[in-house]
Chain A
Amino acid sequence: MSFINYSSREINCKIVYYGPGLGGKTTNLQYIFEKTNPQARGKMISLATETERTLFFDFLPLSLGAIRGFRVRFHLYTVPGQVFYDASRKLILKGVDGVVFVADAQEERLEANIESMENLKQNLQEHGYDIDKIPLVVQYNKMDLPNAMKVEELRAQLNPKNWPDFTACAKTGEGVFDTLKAVAKLVLQELKSGK
């Protein structure tokens, strides 16, 4: 749910990075944080365990510039990917404007990807969103690894709806900004169509 503030002439949107555990959601945010001009971003917050697994969420506020005199700001969140954190994961989706599904391209993680996609659909539904209507982008991460599946296979398994999708290596940053731009554009287009 976007927040349009006529008083401060700002528009705020919420983007959530979703996907299976250890898939690279936090790494995506870390890369964006490192590569963004400090004036255009706030602090990155990570609520993680001692072993750096996301416990509740990561948060990164970004300022993109202005459209028609309104400053456009995106709040990026990640969810904890591990299956047993579902209660927390669901909470983060509240008020979401756009979703990035970060899939782990490794062959042995295919089941986890499918399960997480199904979980996303369900949790969106519980908040009253339809996965077929919400701005959504798929990222196939870790494509650099030797056990990564082929894009066509990943697409067939995870993206039957033909959402915009990108291959990535979040560690080196490949594909990270392409993914972010794509989801941001979809969110803004949704705003434009004005509901």
Chain B
Amino acid sequence: MGAPGFVMYEEEFKLISAVLEKLVKDSNSRMVFLVDKNGQLIAAAGETENLDTTSLASLTAGNIAATGGLAKLLGEREFSILFHEGEKDNLHINLIGQRVILVVIFDDRSTLGLVRLRVKKSSEELAAIFDRLMKKAEAEATAGQASPFSEITDEDIENLFRE
């Protein structure tokens, strides 16, 4: 298979989490999370305790994928920002560098203007981190750095399925 897996390292994860924490504070939002375009949750910050973040991530990615499909039909490359307005909570979703999706959930303690302003700055920071991350993953792959899975045995796999 051609497509290499997406890899997240401890160091970059900390940097990303710090950006998200700051965004929650600066934008006065309830929570912020980052999802890859295939629907995997990468990181989250804010009031995430009572939220099913896995489902949220998958639906967000589906939403972005559907919107991307619409964009193509209209001859647009993408619609990079989505906004959903609710009675209490609002969702601001934007694409970063064609790779990851930043989602901000905010209520009336914040405003769309403030969120957009803060998201813009955070997106630039996140894009830089992801650039670095991709380069690092590529470098490790070409250096022949073994993935933690290159040494698993058939028995390891069997064991997963033992009742």
**Would you call A91 and B66 a contact (CB within 8 A)?**
yes
Residue A160, interface by CB 8 Å: no
Partner of B9, one of A6, A45, A75, A193: A6
**Would you call B160 and A64 a contact (CB within 8 A)?**
yes
List, in ascending order, chain B residues with CB within 8 A of A94's CB: 37-38, 65
**Would you call A47 and B62 a contact (CB within 8 A)?**
yes
**Would you call B58 and A45 a contact (CB within 8 A)?**
yes
Q: Chain A interface secondary structure, helix, strand, loop or mixed?
A: mixed
A-B contacts counted at CB < 8 A amount to 142
Select from chain A the residue with minimum beta-carbon distance to B2.
A128
Residue A166, interface by CB 8 Å: no
**Would you call A67 and B39 a contact (CB within 8 A)?**
no
Report the count of interface residues on A (CB-CB < 8 A): 51
**Would you call B149 and A75 a contact (CB within 8 A)?**
no
**Would you call B38 and A61 a contact (CB within 8 A)?**
no
**Would you call B58 and A75 a contact (CB within 8 A)?**
yes
Residue A134, interface by CB 8 Å: yes
Flag B1-39 by CB within 8 Å of A: 1 or 0 each: 111111111100110000000000000000000001111
- What size tier do the contact residues of chain B reach? 35 or more
Smallest CB separation, A127 vs chain B (Å): 8
CA distance A190 to B1 in the complex (A): 8
**Would you call A67 and B156 a contact (CB within 8 A)?**
yes
**Would you call B152 and A188 a contact (CB within 8 A)?**
yes
Q: When A43-B52, A94-B37 are in contact, do A194 and B147 touch as well, CB less than 8 Å?
A: yes
List, in ascending order, chain B residues with CB within 8 A of A64's CB: 160-161
**Would you call A68 and B152 a contact (CB within 8 A)?**
yes
Which residues of A, 30-81, contact B by the 8 Å Cβ criterion? 42-43, 45, 47, 56-57, 59, 61, 64-65, 67-70, 72, 75, 77
**Would you call A185 and B2 a contact (CB within 8 A)?**
no
Smallest CB separation, B155 vs chain A (Å): 10
Nearest first, the 10 A-B pairs at minimum CB distance are A95-B38, A7-B13, A2-B5, A91-B65, A194-B150, A191-B149, A5-B8, A3-B40, A3-B6, A1-B3
- List A residues at the B interface (Cβ < 8 Å): 1-8, 11-12, 14, 42-43, 45, 47, 56-57, 59, 61, 64-65, 67-70, 72, 75, 77, 87-88, 90-92, 94-95, 128-130, 133-134, 181, 184-185, 188-195
Q: List 5 A-B contacts (CB under 8 A).
A: A45-B58, A64-B160, A75-B39, A75-B40, A95-B37
